[in-house]
């Protein structure tokens, strides 16, 4: 009897071991929930900034990326070849927040829109792990890590004003960088939670105001007003050379071939990118959450 139990126990252990091996063979470790230790996605930092060389991106799942979106994502692997590249899914985001920020999970669960949830999640990546966050519809053209070597917190401007601005410019949350555990992100998350409590109809409020760039600019302006000096906001020509705010981009002749909402074909996209030789990153503004095409 004892020997039979031992055989069964060993068999179960072997099946579990084989299952893990098979799972890792067919499903490469690219999603965050397969990591048991934070140290496994730590990476070398960039200069004095303390920003790790990790690129975070998020999408609903690994399987729904269009060929165009996959091409955009691949540009980051070519651009920052020796960084760690993370693609977070909706499932990963919920697991990550529940594990590391359980106090934030009720707010996350109450958000009705996917873009609001992804906004909340992207701030937690930068708070917990640090690194570079880039929207899935951004194209990396050349290595910009040297620009991140001095500041612990980095953002990018975009031309135009919409509801709010910081020092006269619109700051997007489509590309951001930070060292881990930077105080700004916790303050921003608390601001978002407070807004949720004051406005129970957050799901019907535009995401820019509840979780996106508008609320980010509110916190960033407060951060700057408090005299903080470890933050840098880069001009639009580097990371947001054309704007979705300026109607028809009439204020920028270079952007004549640039269309938002995913309306560019491959030739138009190439012409749009070529129009901005100073750019390190171009945001395509597909706005898939607002009816655009990815």
Residue 88: both structure tokens together: 């977070």
CATH of the structural domain 31-244, one choice from 3.90.550.20, 3.40.50.10490, 3.40.50.450, 3.40.50.300 = 3.90.550.20
Token readout for 250 is 């009439």
Inter-CA distances, 27 with 14, 34, 63, Å: 20, 10, 12
Q: How far from the centroid of its chain's Cα atoms is residue 282's Cα?
A: 15
Between 66 and 91, the higher pLDDT residue: 91
Residue 259: phi and psi, rounded to 5, are -120, 145
Q: pLDDT at residue 277 above 50?
A: yes
Q: How far is CA 239 from CA 60, 156, 233, in A?
A: 24, 6, 10
Distance CA 223, CA 135 (A): 23
What mean pLDDT is predicted for residues 38-47? 58
Statement: residue 33 has pLDDT above 90: no
Q: Tens digit of pLDDT for each residue in 214-237?
A: 999 999 999 999 999 999 999 999
Domain segments of the chain: what residues? 31-244
- What is the mean pLDDT of the segment spanning 184-211? 83
CB 54 within 8 A of CB 82: no
Neighbours of 253 (CB within 10 A): 8
Higher pLDDT, 14 or 92: 92
Secondary element (H or E) of residue 106 = helix 105-110
- Residues 155/219, Cβ–Cβ less than 8 Å: no
At residue 16 the predicted structure's pLDDT band, cuts being 50, 70 and 90, is: very low
Please count the other Cβ atoms lying within 10 Å of the Cβ belonging to residue 228: 14
Could you tell me how far CA 263 lies from the centroid of its own chain?
22
Band the pLDDT of 248: cuts 50, 70, 90. low
* Cα dihedral across residues 231, 236, 242, 244: positive or negative: positive
Q: How far apart are the first and last CA of the chain?
A: 61
Residue 247 has pLDDT above 50, yes or no: no
- The pair of structure tokens assigned to 143 is 């290595």
Percent of the chain with pLDDT over 90: 52
């Amino acid at each position: 009897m004892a020997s039979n139990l031992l055989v069964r126990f060993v068999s179960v252990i072997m099946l579990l071991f084989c299952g893990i091996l098979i799972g890792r063979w067919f499903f490469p470790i690219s999603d965050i929930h397969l990591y048991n230790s934070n140290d496994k996605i730590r990476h070398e930092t960039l200069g004095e900034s303390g920003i790790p060389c990790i690129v975070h991106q998020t999408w609903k799942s690994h399987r729904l990326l269009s060929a165009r979106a996959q091409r955009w994502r691949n540009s980051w692997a070519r651009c920052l070849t020796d960084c760690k590249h993370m693609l977070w899914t909706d499932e990963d985001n919920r697991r990550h927040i529940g594990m590391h920020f359980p106090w934030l999970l009720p707010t996350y669960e109450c958000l009705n829109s996917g873009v609001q949830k992804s906004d909340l999640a992207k701030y937690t990546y930068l708070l917990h792990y640090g690194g570079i966050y880039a929207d899935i519809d951004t194209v990396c053209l050349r290595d910009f890590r040297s620009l991140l070597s001095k500041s612990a917190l980095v953002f990018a401007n975009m031309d135009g004003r919409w509801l709010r601005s910081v020092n006269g410019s619109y700051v997007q949350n489509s590309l951001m960088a930070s060292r881990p555990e930077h105080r700004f992100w916790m303050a921003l998350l608390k601001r978002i939670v407070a807004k949720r409590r004051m406005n129970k109809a957050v799901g019907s409020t535009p995401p820019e105001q509840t979780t996106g760039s508008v609320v980010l600019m509110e916190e960033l302006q407060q951060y700057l007003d408090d005299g903080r000096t470890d933050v840098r906001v880069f001009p639009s020509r580097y990371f947001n050379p054309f704007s979705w705010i300026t109607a028809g981009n009439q204020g920028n002749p270079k952007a004549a071939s640039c269309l938002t909402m995913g309306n560019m074909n491959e030739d138009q996209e190439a012409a749009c990118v070529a129009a901005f030789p100073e750019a390190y990153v171009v945001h395509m503004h597909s706005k898939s959450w607002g009816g655009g095409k990815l």
